[in-house]
Amino acid sequence: MKTLFVVNYVAGRGRTQREWPHVWERIQQEYRDQEIEMVVTAAPRDATRIAREAHAGGYARVVAVGGDGTLAEVADGVRDAAGQTSLAFVPTGAGCDFRRTSGVPADIFAAAQLAITGMPSPADLGTAGGTTFLNVAGVGFDAEVAAEDHRLRNRYSSTGTVPYIRAVMHVLWKYRAREMRIVADGSVFEGRFLLVAVGNAQYYGGGMRIVPTASVDDGMLDVLMGGDYSVPETLALLPRVYGGGHLGSRKIRVVRCRTLSIEATPSAAVHRDGELSGMTPVEFGVLPGAVSFVYGPERAIPAPLPTTAVHGARNPQAE
């Protein structure tokens, strides 16, 4: 089996460049009887081009070495190649939230071994405004936080959860809920919403289990709608997000759908896997089984859908 490792040395603020060469030496020694190669990305979106060319060149597996951004780029390059070129992940980036959903080991060498020997299974991709995402996209508060998080990470060259929490604190005091109209597979929800998180997978922000009901291989999106929270309410709820306990809040509703559109007044920012990707209005969708992915042994088990409703929202079709 021809395997290509696509390595982003920028990922993890130097961690990848420090640790991956040693792992690569061990991999070459342990699997010297297999066709294994490595290429290093040179620019943003380079991983997509490399993955696409690898598929055309007959590689059976392409492995993303980096963070969630690198993985998303490689996934975009091999999408719709399921059954021909599979996808695997070696998490060396800052957040690596898809690792938490997919069960890929945190240890780099163990993840690389799995990438070579593991059997792939179908995985979905989400779409936001025509572009794809693996983890979570969203509108509103979390999109503003993603922008601030990106700014702070670049400014302080930091990794992990701390910059994200700092970004949350910065945005919390200035952002207010928007009037939104949300249409999920024809069902309409209207009201004031702080955020809408659209989950293909469960985690974002370096370990926040924001959409714990999401399953990456069910052909559906899980949409979490967070109502008009005050600053004290948001601060109280924030610690519960890491374990998924926020689903018990009376201002949260989760719906499952294949298509979703969101309008906001005033217009709200949109993010896709933590990267800003425009403003509302925006449409979301899902590409079932778009990639074949090598899952780890401890995949996150989806939580059941809650029955709580969003405070202040209405569904005219149910009235």
The pLDDT, as a whole number, for residue 161 is 62
The domain boundary, picked from 63, 93, 118, lies at 118
Whether residue 171 sits in one domain with residue 57: no
Active site residues: 275
Residue 265 lies in a domain: yes
Whether residue 165 sits in one domain with residue 74: no
Residue 257 lies in a domain: yes
32 by Cβ neighbours in 10 Å (0-12 / 13-18 / 19+) ranks as exposed
Residue 57 lies in a domain: yes
Whether residue 69 sits in one domain with residue 48: yes
Q: Structural domain of residue 310, as residue ranges?
A: 131-288+299-318
The domain boundary, picked from 83, 118, 153, lies at 118
Whether residue 251 sits in one domain with residue 158: yes
Whether residue 207 sits in one domain with residue 167: yes
pLDDT, tens digit (0-9, with 9 covering 90-100), for 76-102: 999 988 789 999 999 999 889 999 999
The pLDDT, as a whole number, for residue 312 is 45
Say which CATH number the domain at 8 has. 3.40.50.10330
Whether residue 147 sits in one domain with residue 107: no
The pLDDT, as a whole number, for residue 309 is 41
pLDDT band at 165, cuts 50/70/90?
confident
Residue 22 lies in a domain: yes
The pLDDT, as a whole number, for residue 276 is 85
- Inform me whether the pLDDT recorded for 310 exceeds 50: no
**Cα dihedral 309/226/279/137 (nearest 10):** -100
The domain boundary, picked from 85, 118, 151, lies at 118
- Inform me whether the pLDDT recorded for 159 exceeds 70: no
- Inform me whether the pLDDT recorded for 232 exceeds 80: yes
What number of other Cβ atoms are within 10 A of residue 50's Cβ?
Answer: 21
Whether residue 216 sits in one domain with residue 73: no
Q: By percentage, how much of the chain surpasses pLDDT 90?
A: 76
Residue 124 lies in a domain: no
Residue 293 lies in a domain: no
| Per-residue 3-state assignment (H helix, E strand, C coil) for the chain | CCEEEEECCCCCCCHHHHHHHHHHHHHHHHCCCCCEEEEECCCCCHHHHHHHHHHHCCCCEEEEEECHHHHHHHHHHHCCCCCCCEEEEEECCCCCHHHHHHCCCCCHHHHHHHHHHCCCEEEEEEEECCEEECCEEEEEHHHHHHHHHHHHHHHHCCCCCHHHHHHHHHHHCCCCCEEEEEEECCEEEEEEECEEEEECCCCECCCECCCCCCCCCCCCEEEEEECCCCHHHHHHHHHHHCCCHHHHCCCEEEEEECCEEEEEECCCEEEECCEEEEECCEEEEEEEEEEEECCCCCCCCCCCCCCCCCCCCECHHHC
Helices 231-241 and 162-172, packing angle to 10 deg? 160
Whether residue 271 sits in one domain with residue 215: yes
pLDDT band at 36, cuts 50/70/90?
very high
Q: How many domains does the chain have?
A: 2
Whether residue 267 sits in one domain with residue 150: yes
What number of other Cβ atoms are within 10 A of residue 319's Cβ?
Answer: 5
Residue 104 lies in a domain: yes
The pLDDT, as a whole number, for residue 62 is 98
The pLDDT, as a whole number, for residue 148 is 81
Please state whether the predicted TM-score (pTM) of the whole model is above 0.85.
yes
Whether residue 303 sits in one domain with residue 173: yes
pLDDT, tens digit (0-9, with 9 covering 90-100), for 48-67: 999 999 999 999 999 999 99
Whether residue 155 sits in one domain with residue 284: yes
Whether residue 136 sits in one domain with residue 107: no
Residue 153 lies in a domain: yes
Say which CATH number the domain at 157 has. 2.60.200.40
